[in-house]
């Protein structure tokens, strides 16, 4: 019998577990062993599940029937009503849905059934490239010339497209708000990308899972490129139910054949989004006022955390752009490269060893160049329910009041950022000493 790697496709010999999940499990094991760690390495909501969804799940625990991949039609109607309060999705109907056990499964099925190549922007979420590899598809990675916001320019995109075979169809996986940078594309940036994609007949798979958690105006590319955009989103982030695995995609009529293929693939794999979850979501979405208030509160607390993190890192001399959404920012620690640090994993290991600070390297997992010292910092290392209960939506908090709020309700964030800043100062001193000795 064949053994070891003989079972695998040759192109998957180095295939690994999702980097974010593997790293989170490692840190959780260290914490379970009694070590105090400031865990900035995982993108999981710090808030409790909205009461409307909790109660809906309790009431739906007895639902055991199989459902279609498209999902409950009443749930689809409620989702469209939800989006009508936030997005310009007038061109979508209840017939345009595919639901999945998390949006990740849908991404994989779209890439798998698609007969073409995949375009990714750097930096990029950790699973896009591995899913492309697992599907046996060719990928093109576009590196932005701008390293402040990391948004590819028209020139960046067209330069890469000139290298591609124009006869092969392509999907661009677009992620705004972005993981790992925390940047939300501006409306003008979205328009530019839409124009390029229409010009080159590129389909856009728009991952908008963090749209409801954008601190600035969010614009879906489907507004400017409706005929060519698949909108992918779900409940994991804004509703704090990542473990429930509830995602969905909306396909325009022009891509109906692709939608049917993805739906078919879903029916042959996960079958349906779990039935009790669908009924729980249906019941919860009917509490629209309650959910809108929940989203507003979450955004406000997260914006405080993002601003505080940026302020302290910036003051310490770290190159970082202020988060505009979600849970993340992407600091670049190149100016404190220290002894024995040649890549970002080594830097992260040193932060963990000397400061008990954990976060993920962006090289190579988030498609940044090897040797670049960028990391994804997830500023949600706190239990957020007390903060959510205490935040006042209509109150304007000045900078001092925001910090006082975080000190009171999110103390582990304050402690963790201080530990991080202390490490930065130490590494800079080590670098000065090392440079002087050369």
Q: Which domains does the chain have, with CATH numbers?
A: 4-48+290-436 (3.90.1150.10), 52-287 (3.40.640.10)
C-alpha to C-alpha distance for 287 and 259, rounded to whole angstroms: 30
415: alpha, beta or left? (left if phi > 0; alpha if psi -120 to 50) = alpha
Per the listing, tokens 């499964």 go with 105
User: How does pLDDT run across 30-78, given as a tens digit for each residue?
Assistant: 888 888 999 998 889 999 999 999 999 999 999 999 999 999 999 999 9
Q: In the prediction, which pLDDT does 433 show?
A: 59
Q: In the prediction, which pLDDT does 32 show?
A: 87
What's phi and psi for 139, nearest 5 deg? -120, 155
C-alpha to C-alpha distance for 187 and 176, rounded to whole angstroms: 11
User: How does pLDDT run across 299-321, given as a tens digit for each residue?
Assistant: 999 999 999 999 999 999 999 99
Q: In the prediction, which pLDDT does 25 show?
A: 85
Residue 96 in this model has a pLDDT that exceeds 70: yes
Q: In the prediction, which pLDDT does 434 show?
A: 62
Q: In the prediction, which pLDDT does 19 show?
A: 67
CB 205 within 8 A of CB 120: no
Task: List the structure tokens of 141.
Answer: 């990675």
User: How does pLDDT run across 365-374, given as a tens digit for each residue?
Assistant: 899 999 899 9
C-alpha dihedral, 345 to 351 to 357 to 359, nearest 10°: -20
**All residues at 6 or more sequence positions from 247 whose CB lies less than 8 Å from its CB, including other chains:** 99, 100, 101, 102, 103, 104, 105, 106, 209, 232, 233, 234, 235, 236, 273
Task: Report in angstroms the alpha-carbon separations of 272 from 37, 99, 261, 276.
Answer: 38, 7, 15, 11
Q: pLDDT band at 234, cuts 50/70/90?
A: very high
**In the predicted model, what is the mean pLDDT of residues 334-363?**
88
Task: Report in angstroms the alpha-carbon separations of 339 from 215, 230, 434, 437.
Answer: 38, 46, 7, 12
- The count of residues in the chain is 438
Per the listing, tokens 């909306």 go with 250
Q: Specify the long-range contacts of residues 75-80, CB closer than 8 Å, at least 24 apart.
A: 75/278, 75/279, 75/281, 75/282, 75/285, 78/281, 78/282, 78/285, 78/286, 79/248, 79/285
Residue 3 in this model has a pLDDT that exceeds 70: no
Average pLDDT, the chain: 94
Residue 1 in this model has a pLDDT that exceeds 60: no
User: Within 10 A of 363 (CB to CB), how many other CB atoms are there?
Assistant: 19
Q: pLDDT band at 127, cuts 50/70/90?
A: very high
Q: Express as a percent the part of the chain with pLDDT over 90.
A: 83
What are the percentages of helix, strand and coil residues in the chain, rounded to 5? Answer: 50, 10, 40
**In the predicted model, what is the mean pLDDT of residues 160-180?**
96
CB 42 within 8 A of CB 376: no
C-alpha to C-alpha distance for 377 and 417, rounded to whole angstroms: 10
**All residues at 6 or more sequence positions from 304 whose CB lies less than 8 Å from its CB, including other chains:** 397, 402, 405, 406
C-alpha to C-alpha distance for 325 and 297, rounded to whole angstroms: 14
Residue 144 in this model has a pLDDT that exceeds 70: yes
Residue 432 in this model has a pLDDT that exceeds 80: no
Task: List the structure tokens of 313.
Answer: 């890192």
User: How does pLDDT run across 326-342, given as a tens digit for each residue?
Assistant: 999 999 999 887 767 88
Task: Report in angstroms the alpha-carbon separations of 251 from 121, 131, 191, 327.
Answer: 22, 20, 19, 27
Task: Report in angstroms the alpha-carbon separations of 44 from 4, 122, 278, 381, 421.
Answer: 34, 22, 21, 9, 23
Q: In the prediction, which pLDDT does 24 show?
A: 79
User: How does pLDDT run across 368-423, given as a tens digit for each residue?
Assistant: 999 899 999 999 999 999 999 999 999 999 999 999 999 999 999 999 999 999 99
**In the predicted model, what is the mean pLDDT of residues 219-241?**
98
C-alpha to C-alpha distance for 327 and 182, rounded to whole angstroms: 7
- Give pTM, 2 decimals: 0.94
C-alpha to C-alpha distance for 416 and 248, rounded to whole angstroms: 35
**In the predicted model, what is the mean pLDDT of residues 100-105?**
95
Residue 2 in this model has a pLDDT that exceeds 80: no
**All residues at 6 or more sequence positions from 109 whose CB lies less than 8 Å from its CB, including other chains:** 100, 262, 265, 266, 269
Task: Report in angstroms the alpha-carbon separations of 209 from 122, 174, 235, 431, 433.
Answer: 18, 11, 8, 40, 45
């Amino acid at each position: 019998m064949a053994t070891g790697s003989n079972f695998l496709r040759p192109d998957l010999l180095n295939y690994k577990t999702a980097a974010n999940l593997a790293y989170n499990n490692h840190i959780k094991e260290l914490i379970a062993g009694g070590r105090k760690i400031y865990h900035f390495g995982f993108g999981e909501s710090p808030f409790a599940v909205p009461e409307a969804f909790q109660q809906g799940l309790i009431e739906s625990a007895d639902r055991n029937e199989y459902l279609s991949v498209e999902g409950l039609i009443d749930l689809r109607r409620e989702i469209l009503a939800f989006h009508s309060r936030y997005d310009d999705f007038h061109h979508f109907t209840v017939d345009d849905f595919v639901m999945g056990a998390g949006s990740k499964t849908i991404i994989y099925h779209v890439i798998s059934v698609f007969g073409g190549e995949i375009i990714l922007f750097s930096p990029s979420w950790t699973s896009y490239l591995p899913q492309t590899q697992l599907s046996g598809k060719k990928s093109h990675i576009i590196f932005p010339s701008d390293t402040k916001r990391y948004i590819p320019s028209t020139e960046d995109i067209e330069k890469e497209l000139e290298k591609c075979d124009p006869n092969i169809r392509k999907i661009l996986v677009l992620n705004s708000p972005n993981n790992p940078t925390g940047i939300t594309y501006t409306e003008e940036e979205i328009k530019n990308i839409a124009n390029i994609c229409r010009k080159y007949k590129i389909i856009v798979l728009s991952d908008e899972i963090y749209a409801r958690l954008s601190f600035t105006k969010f614009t879906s590319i489907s507004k400017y490129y409706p005929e060519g955009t698949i909108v992918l989103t779900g409940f994991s982030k804004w509703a704090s139910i990542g473990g429930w695995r509830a995602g969905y995609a909306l396909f325009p009529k022009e891509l109906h054949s692709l939608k049917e293929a993805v739906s078919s693939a879903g029916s042959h794999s996960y079958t349906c989004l779990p039935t009790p979850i669908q009924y729980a979501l249906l019941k919860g979405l009917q509490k629209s006022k309650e959910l809108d208030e929940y989203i507003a509160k979450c955004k406000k607390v997260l914006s405080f955390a993002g601003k505080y993190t940026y302020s302290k890192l910036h003051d310490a001399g770290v190159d970082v752009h202020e988060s505009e959404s979600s849970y993340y920012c992407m600091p670049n620690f190149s100016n404190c490269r220290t002894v024995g640090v040649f890549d970002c994993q080594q830097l992260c290991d040193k932060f963990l060893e000397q400061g008990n600070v954990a976060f993920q390297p962006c090289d190579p997992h988030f498609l940044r160049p090897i040797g670049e010292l960028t990391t994804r910092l997830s500023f949600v290392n706190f239990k957020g329910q007390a903060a959510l209960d205490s935040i006042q939506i209509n109150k304007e908090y000045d900078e001092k009041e925001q910090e006082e709020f975080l000190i009171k309700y999110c103390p582990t964030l304050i402690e963790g950022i201080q530990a991080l800043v202390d490490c930065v100062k130490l590494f800079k001193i080590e670098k000065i000493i090392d440079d002087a000795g050369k």
